[in-house]
Amino acid sequence: MAFLLAIEGADGAGKATATAAVVAHLAAQGLSACALSFPRYTDTVGGWALGEYLAERLPRAVSPQAAATLYALDRFESRAHLVDMAARHDVVVFDRYIASNMAYQAAQVPDGEAEALMTWIARLETGQFALPVPDLSVYLDTPLAVARTLIAQKRRRSYTDDTYDAYEADLGLQARVRANYAAMADAAMLGEWMTVETVAHAALRPPEMIAAEIADAVIGRLEG
């Protein structure tokens, strides 16, 4: 069974870029690594429904619990693929995983209900849906203003032509998501975390440098 690494963070934090760079860095160190990105918009029923939801094409309001269940369903439908990839590699790098669901859906309920919703999601995904807990989650900490600029540079998405999807357009949501990630990392929810700052001396760090910091942490744990 591979080491399971989850790259987490707000929209535009640089997760896809860091994921690809970590896979390349691990490969250069002789480890077989692969990436798995969630949601899988074009591979699962849950993923397709999520594209419709994020592009605001669903004809009904979607509660945080319903959204959480769709994201969890996308991973449940991907479970056999995930297990197969884990059997064939040393490291699987997730570009978003269960913690995304906890951070984003808990950001959409009143403060007093957030912790209970996080626990409910963790139990649904790791209990009922038997998805593995990651060995290490990385919180990519990117300031909101920088992340806005980076979102605008992203390639076109499969589900929308808009620059910002429904979640990205909501600045209050993005701020609460950041706070939730910081709290989850502090409390080691869903296993061990490390926080990686993507900006240093007022400039974005090169992806290779960010990836080296993350890959070294993985290699340290594999050797230790």
Ligand X SMILES: Cc1cn([C@H]2C[C@H](O)[C@@H](COP(=O)(O)OP(=O)(O)O)O2)c(=O)[nH]c1=O
Ligand Y SMILES: Nc1ncnc2c1ncn2[C@@H]1O[C@H](COP(=O)(O)OP(=O)(O)O)[C@@H](O)[C@H]1O
**Which stretches of the chain bind ligand Y, using CB under 6 A?**
9, 11-17, 150, 153-154, 198, 204-205, 207, 210
**90 binds ligand X per the rule CB under 6 A:** no
* Residue facing ligand X at closest CB distance: 104
Structure tokens at 41: 């918009």
Applying CB under 6 A, the site for ligand X has a residue count of 13
**178 binds ligand X per the rule CB under 6 A:** no
Cβ distance 94 to 4 under 8 Å? Answer: yes
Size of the chain, expressed as the number of residues it contains: 224
Q: Report the C-alpha gap between 125 and 129 in whole angstroms.
A: 5
Cα-Cα end-to-end distance for the chain: 16
Q: Which is nearer to ligand Y, 17 or 69 (CB)?
A: 17
User: Which residues are 136's β-sheet partners?
Assistant: 5
Q: Report the C-alpha gap between 71 and 50 in whole angstroms.
A: 7
Q: Which is nearer to ligand Y, 120 or 167 (CB)?
A: 167
Q: Quote the least distance from Cβ 127 to ligand Y, whole Å.
A: 28
* Closest among 92, 95, 96 to 32, alpha carbons compared: 92
**Contact with ligand X (CB under 6 A) among 17, 19, 44, 100:** 100
**Contact with ligand X (CB under 6 A) among 89, 96, 176, 178:** 96
Q: Using CB under 6 A as the criterion, which residues of the chain lie in contact with ligand X when the complex forms? A: 11, 38-39, 54, 71, 96, 100-101, 104-105, 157, 165, 167
